[in-house]
């Protein structure tokens, strides 16, 4: 990575290196295909200006990071991982090249992180999958593409029976993990908790820019942290864990258990809980 043809320290050993990184991020160009959505030069200019303001907002939330005072611990505890049953290696980071996530922005090589996520319990795992209507809609769309013989109505009834998930329990042992599970840990790092808690979908999709959380993922990875332990956005009493495969190497945690997930029942449970019934 360079800034004005000068090398930028991407190990983030100083606050100056973080600021240099932020200046580099501000110059990420607008993808050409994004501008084709607008018919006139005026519309394109308005979009670029709005995009730049949104990007600066993300930058402002992380530019004051002070890594020297970060709370860092080792993790030695059971954690859960939910994956589709068809995947042979549940600890693979392959999905990070396909989709954005809370700490991964796939659209830029410098900001793409090989992330692997875990939940403190099963509920942390499945609420990440099915907490939004759009996630269910996307799931249905995928099934429609995979099975043209069923009508939409038939597919709605059978979708959670057709694609099975498995939940693995692992004995996770990893050193050098950044801890963000309380206001004091955020304060020590010099960032607001919205960096992790804010959603990333619209920022990525509407403007094709990284969020502050995704930038934090890159900073943490390049600084040498093996992962981040953070409070679950869906369940504030539990924690989730993201690991960076670039730093940990291929994960080979001991599997304590594996169970098939009844996704049809889980979706009903989530729907009832969200409706307060």
Report domain extents, the chain: 67-275
The pair of three-digit structure tokens given for residue 35, joined into one six-digit string: 């501008």
Instruction: With cut-offs at 50, 70 and 90, classify the pLDDT of residue 268.
Output: low
Tell me the H-state helices in the chain.
15-26, 32-35, 41-62, 122-130, 133-146, 152-162, 183-189, 194-197, 201-207, 212-223, 245-248, 263-275
Question: Is the pLDDT assigned to residue 8 strictly greater than 60?
Answer: no
Instruction: With cut-offs at 50, 70 and 90, classify the pLDDT of residue 271.
Output: low
Kindly state the average pLDDT of the residues 226-250: 93
Kindly state the average pLDDT of the residues 53-81: 94
Of residues 7 and 99, more confidence is placed in 99
């Amino acid at each position: 990575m360079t800034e004005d043809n000068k090398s930028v320290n991407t190990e983030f050993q100083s606050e100056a290196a973080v600021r240099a990184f932020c200046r580099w991020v501000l110059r990420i160009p607008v993808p050409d295909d994004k501008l084709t959505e607008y018919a006139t030069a005026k519309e394109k200019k308005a979009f670029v200006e709005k995009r730049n303001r949104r990007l600066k907002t993300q930058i402002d939330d992380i530019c004051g990071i002070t890594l020297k005072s970060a709370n860092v611990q080792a993790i030695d505890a059971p954690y859960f991982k939910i994956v589709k049953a068809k995947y042979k290696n549940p600890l693979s980071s392959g999905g990070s090249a396909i989709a954005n996530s809370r700490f991964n922005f796939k659209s830029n090589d410098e900001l793409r992180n090989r992330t692997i996520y875990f939940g403190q319990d099963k509920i942390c795992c499945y609420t990440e999958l099915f907490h939004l209507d759009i996630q269910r809609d996307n799931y249905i769309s995928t099934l429609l593409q995979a099975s043209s013989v069923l009508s939409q109505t038939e597919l709605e009834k059978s979708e959670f029976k057709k694609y099975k998930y498995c939940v693995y329990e692992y004995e996770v042992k990893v050193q050098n993990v950044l801890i963000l599970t309380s206001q004091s840990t955020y304060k020590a790092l010099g960032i607001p908790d919205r960096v992790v808690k804010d959603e990333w979908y619209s920022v990525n999709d509407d403007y094709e820019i990284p969020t502050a959380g995704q930038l934090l993922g890159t900073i943490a990875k390049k600084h040498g942290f093996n992962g981040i332990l953070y409070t679950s956005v869906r369940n504030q009493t539990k924690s989730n864990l993201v690991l960076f495969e670039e730093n940990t190497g291929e994960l080979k945690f001991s599997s304590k258990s594996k169970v098939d997930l009844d996704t049809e029942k889980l979706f009903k449970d989530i729907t009832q809980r969200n409706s307060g019934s």
